[in-house]
A and B are shown apart, each in its own frame.
Chain A
Amino acid sequence: DIVMTQTPLPSPVTLGQPASISCRSSESLVHSGGDTYLNWLQQRPGQPPRLLIYKISNRFSGVPDRFSGSGAGTDFTLKISRVEPEDVGIYYCAQATQFPLTFGGGTKLEIK
């Protein structure tokens, strides 16, 4: 099984400052077809998760451009250029390259 490991944020993050969340996979997420199925999800308090970024770096519809994704192979990063109050929540990376599908343990974003 592919293990996804996320690093904690130095909490809390100052409003308007950048934040960066790392995610590492135990093996390459490059699919046999050439794509890398690494997505980022945001879960606000009391809400179901929602898709932010798909295929490493593509923002989903309606996601503010302060969110960006990068990385390759086994190392990936979600960046928020300027943290806003509505960004509070838990962020998960998820791999869909192979079954079993797996998630990172989540990174909590708190704002001061």
Chain B
Amino acid sequence: EVQLLESGGDLVQPGGSLRLSCVASGFTFSSYAMNWVRQAPGKGLEWVSSISSSGGDTYYADSVKGRFTISRDNSKNTLFLQLNSLRVEDTAVYYCVKDWSIWFGVTWGQGTLVTVSS
């Protein structure tokens, strides 16, 4: 069974940092692009970042560019998102999402909550 399990969400002050992780199982992780998508409380879905299967190509939403960094460790089947210079508006559930192009959204994790507040 394909599974994605996020962790690392927490309450952090504005300007702080967090590192989110997503452990994948049930598929050959190194063969698939991966994404982070977030959802602010009571709001819709917002794409945050994507990374190619090798990690050589990365993409970011303008709202997080320069503050967030996506990476992966294919030897550990793990996707990461480093969140720096956090803002109140970054408060959201962050989902790990498998694949892009035709299969964008094929599998989602349960999400991890990031709360940015003083």
A76, B32: Cα distance in complex, Å: 27
Interface contact B46-A94, CB-CB below 8 Å: no
Chain B residues whose CB sits within 8 angstroms of the CB of A51 once the complex forms: 103, 105-107
Give the dominant DSSP class at B's interface.
Answer: mixed
23 contacts between A and B (CB under 8 A): A35-B101, A37-B101, A37-B102, A37-B104, A48-B95, A48-B108, A48-B110, A49-B45, A49-B95, A50-B108, A51-B105, A90-B44, A92-B44, A92-B45, A94-B45, A94-B104, A96-B102, A96-B104, A100-B47, A101-B50, A103-B45, A105-B44, A106-B45
Q: Among B46, B102, B105, B110, which residue has the most Cβ atoms of chain A within 10 A?
A: B105
Number of interface residues of B (CB under 8 A): 22
**Contacts A48-B95, A48-B110 given: A54-B103 contact, CB under 8 Å?**
yes
Q: A79 on the interface (CB 8 Å rule)?
A: no
- Whole-angstrom distance between the Cβ of B78 and the nearest chain A Cβ: 19
Using a CB–CB cutoff of 8 Å, the interface residues on chain B facing chain A are 35, 44-47, 50, 59, 61-62, 95, 100-111
In angstroms, how far is the closest chain A Cβ from the Cβ of B9?
14
The dominant DSSP class at the A interface is loop
- A-B pairs with the 4 shortest C-beta distances? A96-B104, A101-B47, A48-B108, A103-B45
A90 to B: closest C-beta gap in Å: 8
